[in-house]
Amino acid sequence: DQQVKQNSPSLSVQEGRISILNCDYTNSMFDYFLWYKKYPAEGPTFLISISSIKDKNEDGRFTVFLNKSAKHLSLHIVPSQPGDSAVYFCAASEGGSNYKLTFGKGTLLTVNP
Amino acid sequence: EAGVVQSPRYKIIEKKQPVAFWCNPISGHNTLYWYLQNLGQGPELLIRYENEEAVDDSQLPKDRFSAERLKGVDSTLKIQPAELGDSAVYLCASSHNSPHEQYFGPGTRLTVT
């Protein structure tokens, strides 16, 4: 049973527009959430994270929103750039001394010029 | 700062043969992780090391997989014997002060024929 779900395998947006990537989770013990970006033939790269005590975290063009009651988080990229084209993985951990990250299956984002 | 180094990048072997992957984490990172990533899936943790101690190997199939991290720096992951279903990308990651923010290597793509 997947504890972290990314239900959209792919997303295509125009350059300059907003990209919204969604993630749902089922484990109520998760208290820290991350987004990783992955280019082909490279390992995932940490992008942005959010603790469960917050509902928003912003870093430049990237903002992550967390809705704990809905067990849902989203990553907003504004404005989207062609270089943002990659696979985006949502990940979660239970925090404390449990360092295990549980990943979703990823969403392939394509930003068209 | 050099990133996580993994070798080889690609490996093709016949089933029942042994194979080994090597990882050199970022200097100063005391926590090292090995992940398995199947096609179309997110990474799944196999084993986590704190220095030279394996503190979480609950997901490692111990009948055929083994790992070591001598001297708490480099690490080797071994499969013996390999099976067709082991074809995947094997990722190594490391972290220091923030265990949630893990830095990944490029991975080793294993093909078992």
Mean pLDDT score of chain B: 93
What SS3 state is found at A15?
coil
In the prediction, which pLDDT does A18 show? 98
- Structure confidence by residue, pLDDT tens digits, A85-100: 999 999 999 876 667 8
Check CB contact under 8 Å for A99 and B105.
Answer: no
pLDDT at B61: 92
Residues A35 and A64 sit within 8 Å (Cβ to Cβ): yes
- Contact call for residues A37 and A47 (beta carbons, < 8 A): yes
Is pLDDT of A29 > 80?
yes
Q: Closest Cα of chain A to B100: distance in Å? A: 6
Distance of CA B16 to the CA centre of its chain: 19
Q: Give the SS3 label for residue B71.
A: helix
Tell how far CA A20 is from the center of its chain.
9
Instruction: Please give the average per-residue pLDDT across A67-72, as a whole number.
Output: 97
Residues of B in contact with A106 (CB under 8 A): 40-42
Q: How many CB atoms lie within 10 A of CB A111?
A: 21
Instruction: Report CA-CA distances (Å) from A55 to A5, A11, A22.
Output: 19, 24, 15
Closest residue to A49, CB basis, from B31, B101, B103: B101
Q: Residue A58's closest CA among A70, A72, A74?
A: A74
A49: chain B residues, CB-CB within 8 Å = 100-101
* Test mutation, B100, B102, B103, B109, chain A, max A CBs within 10 A: B100
- pLDDT of B22 higher than 70: yes
pLDDT at B101: 81
Per-residue confidence (pLDDT) for residue A100, from 0 to 100: 83
User: Inter-chain contact A41–B106, Cβ cutoff 8 Å?
Assistant: yes
Which pairing describes strands B88-95 and B103-104: parallel, antiparallel, or unpaired? antiparallel
